[in-house]
Amino acid sequence: MTPETPSRRSAGPTPFLSVAAAARIAGLSSTSLHRRLANGELPGYQLGRRWFVPEREFRRHLRRRSWMLQHEAADDMVRELTAALPRLVAMDDLERFFGLRRAFLYDLLRLPVFAGAPGRGGVTTIAVLEQALRAARNDCPPCVAEMRAQQPVRVA
């Protein structure tokens, strides 16, 4: 366990916090955090009955409490989460990404998985994973206050 992230489900790096860890960081009970995730007040992804809280966006949200009201900002958040993943994502990669065991991932994601390298448990594409994350995203407006400085301004 690192001091920055109170509890992770696995030893590998994952961009998500557990609900319990996010609740501790925000100073809320787990029940309150679940309610705020379901209402779209805080950023999160619901896969099945489980919530995945994106750590960077969650911390930005707590620091800034400012949002960009453009719908495509959610796509930017998904791309930020998946930026470190390869184009073809193996089940091993997904286990590290979500911090969950493979058996849970099959039930939660229901992604099409293609035969992959032996011992890797099949692969899927990054585009399919991003589509699943966009579908699982709650209605919280993405907090992108710090991302604005990093991205060029879009002119319509």
Per-residue pLDDT of the chain (156 residues; tens, 9 = 90+): 444 444 444 456 889 999 999 999 888 899 999 999 998 888 999 988 899 999 998 988 887 664 443 445 667 778 888 888 888 888 888 888 888 887 777 777 776 666 554 445 677 788 888 888 888 888 777 654 444 445 554 554
Residue 151: the pLDDT is 52
State the burial class of residue 71 (Cβ atoms within 10 Å of its Cβ: 0-12, 13-18, 19+): exposed
Q: Amino acid identity, residue 64?
A: R
DSSP type of residue 123 = E
133: closest CA among 37, 53, 25?
Answer: 53
Answer whether 33's CB lies under 8 Å from 22's CB: yes
Report the SS3 class of residue 2: coil
Residue 85 main-chain phi, psi, to 5 deg: -85, 150
pLDDT confidence of residue 44: 92
